Structure formats: C-alpha cells, structure tokens
Amino acid sequence: MFCDRISSKKEWGRLLGERRTRLCRMAYVWSKDPSLAEDLVQEALIRALRNRKQLHDPKNLDAWLFRILHNCWQDHLRHQARTRPLDDLPEPSFLYHPEEIQGRSEEIARVRSAVAALPEGQRQVLTLVDLEGLSYAQVAAVLDIPIGTVMSRLCRARGRLREILGNFDASSDPEREGVQLRRVK
C-alpha cells in the first residue's frame, strides 16, 4: 500500500507542499478570493494528512487532493449565504508574475471575465483539464460526475469561450506562440 511506504508526516508534508500552488490556483478559480483560497487549501491539506491511509495508489494523489479540495469548497458553499460581486475581488498575487501580465492586462481581464461568465460546472471542468492538466477520468473523480459529463461540459465551455472571446487568438501573437487550450486529453 502506498501510505505504508511513506510513513512519516514530514514526507507527506513534502508531497503535499509540492502540490500547494496548484491547489491554491484551483481554489482561487472557484472562490475568487485569495484569502478564502488559502483557507480552503489549508483545510484540504489538513484533511489529506489526516486521511492519508485512504490513498492506495500514488498515481491518484493529484486527483485525490483535488477531490478533497472540492469537498472543502462544497462545505464552504453550504455554510456561506452571501456572495461578493466580481468587481470587488482583489487580484490574486500568487497566480501570475508581473512580467507575464505586463502589456497583456486587458487580454487577461477579457479572458478572466469570459471564464467567470461560464456556468460553475463548465468553469470547474475547464480549469481542471486545461489549467491543471488533469485527465478526464481524474476530473470525473474529483467532481464526482460521469466522464461523459466532463467531456460535454468541456466542449460547451470551450465553445462558449470561443463565442465570448470572438476573434481573440493567442496563437497570432509571436510572444505567445503555442499557448492554446488543449483539444484532446
């Protein structure tokens, strides 16, 4: 069993720490609040460490962690009654480096707005597949939905983004050559 080979909490802490940035990015995509994202990730990592014996296959570590994070997010939504408008949200400091966004802030705002306009289910699938690199099967496990639903939500999300963004094409800019959403996974 995987958890028997990694017996120390220190080793588990290292494994979980290596994935913290990706978890923070996903939590921010869901919550739109950097502070809440940090809280969700902290809770997810505590739960993962506490329940580490439930993980039997190291290949499933990322999907398992994202599933725990998703459960933390769902728990938060159940206990949270109020919402904040998107305009009031602070910019996340941990997602982008200043040199990456210099000169592209309008495009970034346009893409963020387009992604935020997607229904939650489509937004979750799109970010897990295209930003986090999870397979369809892993996303299905994280969100507890059939793989066919993952595929249809992803197709609809990408189609809707094409509609919203119109002629926006990252491949036409030589600086961003090769930056495109993956089509197949």
- The pLDDT tens digits of the residues spanning 90-108 come to 565 555 556 555 556 777 7
Domain extent listing, the chain? 9-81+107-170
CA 78 to each of CA 71, 75, 116, 118: distance values in angstroms, whole numbers, following the listed order: 11, 5, 20, 21
For 8, the token pair is 């120390």
Q: What's the pLDDT tens digit per position in 106-157?
A: 777 888 888 889 999 999 999 899 888 889 999 998 899 999 999 999 999 9
Q: DSSP for 49-116, please give it.
A: HHTGGG---GGGHHHHHHHHHHHHHHHHHHH------GGGPPPPSSS--HHHHTT-HHHHHHHHHHHH
Q: Is the pLDDT of residue 4 over 80?
A: no
Q: DSSP for 168-184, please give it.
A: --GGGSGGGTT----S-
- Assign domain 9-81+107-170 to a CATH class: mainly alpha
